[in-house]
Chain A
Amino acid sequence: MAKRIVTLTVNGATTQLLLPEHRTLLELLRHELGLVGTKHGCDLGECGTCTVLVDGRPVLSCLTLAAQAEGRSVTTIEGLARDGRPDRLQTVFAELGAAQCGYCTPAMLLTARALLDARPDPSRDDIKQALAGNLCRCTGYNKILDAVEMVARESAV
């Protein structure tokens, strides 16, 4: 089994690992680093549940080889809080009931954060488009939309 050394930054900390070449970023995060806040729902890029941010952009970690993250900066749900304070999206998702079982939530939050960073004042349709690759089986999506919209409006003020 061919291996290679991968160096990447995860949630601000640079780390170096010796990994089989076929190891995915999802496996690296969950199995090597114990960052199990990143979930998996299909391992085929269909559900969006494994989304993490690579250099600030949402990426399906189940379809990304760990080697492709070489030299990049990865943010997982464990790294979304800043200075020990949860991201406003995390608090508002909690308050508005945007999570039921919570399984899709980490990926939703990261995708929403990437959207708001790129486009601070999105329309409701923009939010739908940005999150359309993330499936949720519990909420019916509306409370997630409400939460992202509320945070966008707050930061626009």
Chain B
Amino acid sequence: MEPEHTVVGRPRPRVDAMAQTTGRLRYADDLILPGTLIGRQLRSPHAHALITAIDTSRAEELEGVLAVITGRHLPTPYGILPVSEDEHALAVEKVRYVGEPVAAVAALDAETAEEALRRIRVDYEPIVDVATIGEALTEDRPRIHGDGVGPNVHRRVALEFGDVDSGFARADHIREDLFFFGGNTHAALELHAALASSDPDGKLTVWSSTQVPHYLQRTVAKVLDLAMNRVRVIATPSGGGFGGKTDLFSHELVAAKLSLLTGRPVKITLTREEVFYTHRGRHPVLMWLRTGFRSDGSITSMHLRTHLDGGAYGSYGMASLYYTGALQTSTYRIPNYRFEGVRVFTNKPPCGPKRGHGTPQPRFALECHLDQAAAELGLDPAAIRLRNAVEPHTMTVNHLRVTSCGLRQCIEKVVEASAFDAKYGHLRPGHGVGLAVGAYLSGAGLPIYFNDMPQSEVQIKVDRGGGVTVYSMAVDIGQGSTTMLATVVGERLGLEPGELAMVTADTDLTPVDLGSYSSRVTFMAGNAALKAADGIRAMVFEAVAEELEATVADLVAAHGRIFVRGTPEAGMAWTDAVRAATERFGPLVAAGSYRAPDLAGPYRGSGVGISPAYSFSAAVVEVECDRDTGMVEVKKVWLAHDIGRAINPLAVEGQIEGSVYMALGEALFEEQAFRRTLHRGPSLLDYKMPTFLEMPPVESILVESVDPEGPFGAKEVGQGPLLPVIPAVANAIHDALGVRIDEVPITPDKIVAALRDLGRGGPGRVGPTDLPDFDFGRPWPVEPPEGFGSP
């Protein structure tokens, strides 16, 4: 029997792999145009201050300086979410964090640009800053946005699904815990860079290391007051994204403005220190979690409170806030659920989305909490998770539609592969294993700005040599989206992915894809590519059927030929088939698009968390801990992931290993730490991330649940596998030492403190002990979806 697929499902290298390994891939900062000027930004040394005067005259006098701009040159506010357009490309009247851009210059070279910055005089009138969640919620601090004093609340939310009080009343056992997840940052190795070039005919082109060219095109047009069709954005191959390049950045808009003013290309490349201030990384979140259980471990009710430290601006924060409450129900059947959350402003670099966007923090809380509840109920960690595991094709209490779901298999496989049962509680002192699970979206159900257009479009054209060109705005940020598209199209046309020409991420040339965020590209752009490929396939098959006197239904495309199923010799080479089809249909072009089904629930905020499909993961982490130093060595990580179908198993493994790596960094080392509002160490020396020496072996286990709506059944893998690893580390440390570190990162000092506490007869815990007072308001009551019964 012929295999179901000839291209999909085989491990294969990236289509641009040799360009990468020969140093030929051109990133944003590698680009240079004749006459390019160097742009630099002046940044605020104050966390919170009024700008009383700016004098740029001495900078303008400097030879070699071609333009100097301040906030008054770019007065239009913007923001990635239409509900919080609270940023300016350069500060207007006020600065809100150390490192906020205040002015910018374009000069002939970097030295001149830097000298020009030194010549700009800014008079500040410092005001009291807001450094913490607790301070933000007090009545007497100045407002960071708006006038006067008062709580610095960006947004609060309170939702109740089902009847939480009666759910707790039915519980045999109730547990509550407090957790804190420290903020951390993406630290992609590529520094953010943008090159802008305006031409005399009124067109502006921006090359940027962005994950969202479409949103950037809209925003450049808006802020620079240009028609969208006058702005071309080209997203360059990204030297790492992880969510860090999904926002709209000052330097992109400033480079564009400086190019318009000077009529010359302008390039701005941030320094590493500037990247730390630009941030938009993981929100610090303080959490309180209360859950009711039956004695068999089944959950009767859950109440979660999250407090997010948003930093100085909105960014994606509204979505981040809702995400902290959205996905607990996607792994466990929670019949009654109350979620209360608040995001505050503080005078620190703005937080935003990082791999897992708003979900790793509550996932850490939930999975640690669940292990402790299991112990109290006399259940093992796998049993309590299997007891509550979400089943395929069910609705959650907060109206998420779960379709394919391999969570149960992920738990079973990872437990088996790691010999978890034999190890848990049985390893020698200082050694331990921990288990946790997670789930993630395969693409946000809704676009960032309201519209009913497709979320992803793909076009394909075929030339007379049989060459196939695929056009998509999807951005390859290293995850391999271009290879994914080539694989999907190659499968349907019977061609090797490496034979296709890929044109991506250019707003002039490619049809819209909303961007590389929310793990949406394989599902959405993949489905659009599948439809476009089928458009070409239909024409080619019709022409071949006629030439071969066969029926279309009997034809197969594989190995560069179109032939009758079962008799490969009865067929035509692809190039001949293309000739026949072009004779019959004229130019061979086709388009396909994807828009997620309407999945929103009957409540405000239900747009966050919905997705056409969810991936599921389970992790076991094995650690060895030193009782004297508090050092943790991760010995091995087993990670099972429900990928739906692996379009390219090599790429899937790569995403799993990378997610595990990033999770271990967050669990043990990485923190965007501040001395009040001043970054403690905006450098890669101070911001500790795992090197080769800290990285353990990873055993990846792929579970293929074959999603009914995914391309070839595929779901996401870029973010989901990160989620279970962080709590699994915490659970493993508990198994090893008997201490609970309810705070990320789990640094050696915390372990030593917890061991001391344990030695003195205490609970052996380090973590938050109280919550700030805050009135979340009456929760909005939401009826569970139809057919969702209480146990």
A: residues with CB less than 8 A from B are: 1, 30, 36-44, 46-47, 49, 76-78, 80-81, 86, 89-91, 93-97, 99-106, 109, 127-129, 131-145
Contacts and interface: CB of A to CB of B under 8 A. Distances in A.
Contact of A95 (B13, B27, B241): B13
Given A101-B238, A138-B658, A41 B21 contact: no
Q: Please report whether the interface of chain A is mostly helix, strand, loop or mixed according to DSSP.
A: loop
Given A44-B272, A81-B22, A94-B18, A141 B188 contact: no
A38 B693 contact: no
Interface stretch (B53-61, B527-535, B649-657): B649-657
Contact of B693 (A37, A49, A103, A129): A129
7 shortest interchain CB distances as A-B pairs: A37-B23, A101-B478, A103-B239, A102-B20, A140-B661, A77-B23, A94-B17
A131 B659 CA distance: 20
B295 interface: no
B91 to A, nearest CB: 25
Interface string B371-387: 00000000000000000
Contacts of B478: 100-103, 138
B692 A90 contact: no
Contacts of B683: 42, 44, 46
Interface of B: 11, 13-14, 16-27, 29-30, 111, 186-191, 237-242, 271-272, 477-480, 650-651, 653-654, 657-662, 683-685, 689-693, 695, 697-698
Given A36-B30, A39-B27, A137-B662, A102 B692 contact: no
B190 A103 contact: yes
Given A39-B189, A41-B684, A97-B13, A145 B692 contact: yes
Q: Which of A77, A133, A142 has the most chain B CB within a 10 Å cutoff?
A: A142
A95 B697 contact: no
Nearest to B188: A137
Contacts of A106: 23
Given A42-B272, A42-B683, A128-B692, A101 B188 contact: yes
A80 B237 CA distance: 22
A43 B478 CA distance: 22
A131 B13 contact: no
A46 B239 contact: no
Contacts of A41: 189-191, 272, 684
Nearest to A31: B32
Contact of A99 (B14, B272, B691): B14
A93 B23 contact: no
A106 B20 CA distance: 8
B692 A131 contact: yes
Given A44-B683, A94-B13, A97-B14, A140 B698 contact: yes
A127 B25 CA distance: 26
Given A47-B684, A99-B14, A99-B20, A135 B657 contact: no
Given A41-B272, A94-B13, A97-B651, A135 B684 contact: yes
Nearest to A133: B691
B22 A90 contact: yes
B341 to A, nearest CB: 29
19 contacts: A1-B111, A36-B26, A39-B189, A46-B272, A46-B683, A76-B23, A90-B21, A93-B17, A95-B17, A97-B13, A97-B17, A99-B20, A132-B692, A135-B684, A137-B187, A137-B242, A138-B658, A139-B661, A140-B695
Given A37-B24, A96-B13, A141-B691, 12 more contacts: A42-B683, A44-B272, A94-B18, A97-B13, A102-B478, A103-B240, A132-B691, A138-B658, A140-B658, A140-B661, A140-B695, A141-B695
Of listed A46, A140, A141, residue having the most chain B CB within 10 A: A140
A142 B695 CA distance: 8
Nearest to B239: A103
A127 B238 CA distance: 27
A137 B189 contact: yes
Given A41-B189, A101-B240, A91 B21 contact: yes
A135 B272 contact: no
B191 A40 contact: yes
A129 B692 CA distance: 8
Contacts of B30: 30, 36
B23 A138 contact: no
Contacts of B693: 128-129, 132
B22 A86 contact: yes
A102 B657 contact: no
Contacts of B271: 43
A91 to B, nearest CB: 7
Contacts of A38: 23
Given A39-B189, A140-B660, A46 B685 contact: yes
A46 B271 CA distance: 13
A143 B657 contact: yes
Contact of B21 (A86, A101, A142, A143): A86
Contacts of B26: 36
A96 B660 CA distance: 18
A39 B238 CA distance: 13
A109 B167 CA distance: 58
B30, B654, B697: most-surrounded residue (chain A CB, <10 A): B654
A140 B684 contact: no
Given A101-B240, A104-B189, A137 B20 contact: no
B281 to A, nearest CB: 13
Nearest to B685: A46
B698 A86 contact: no
Contacts of A105: 20-21, 23
Given A97-B654, A100-B479, A101-B478, A141 B661 contact: yes
B15 to A, nearest CB: 10
A30 B32 CA distance: 11
A28 B190 CA distance: 19
A75 B685 CA distance: 26
B191 A97 contact: no
Nearest to A102: B20
A93 B653 CA distance: 15
A136 to B, nearest CB: 7
A39 B269 CA distance: 13
Nearest to B697: A142
B18 A86 contact: yes
A144 B191 CA distance: 22
Contact of B685 (A44, A86, A137): A44
A102 B237 contact: yes
Contacts of A1: 111
A72 to B, nearest CB: 20
Nearest to B692: A128
Contacts of B662: 137, 140
Contacts of B654: 97, 100, 138-139, 143
A116 to B, nearest CB: 15
Nearest to B269: A40
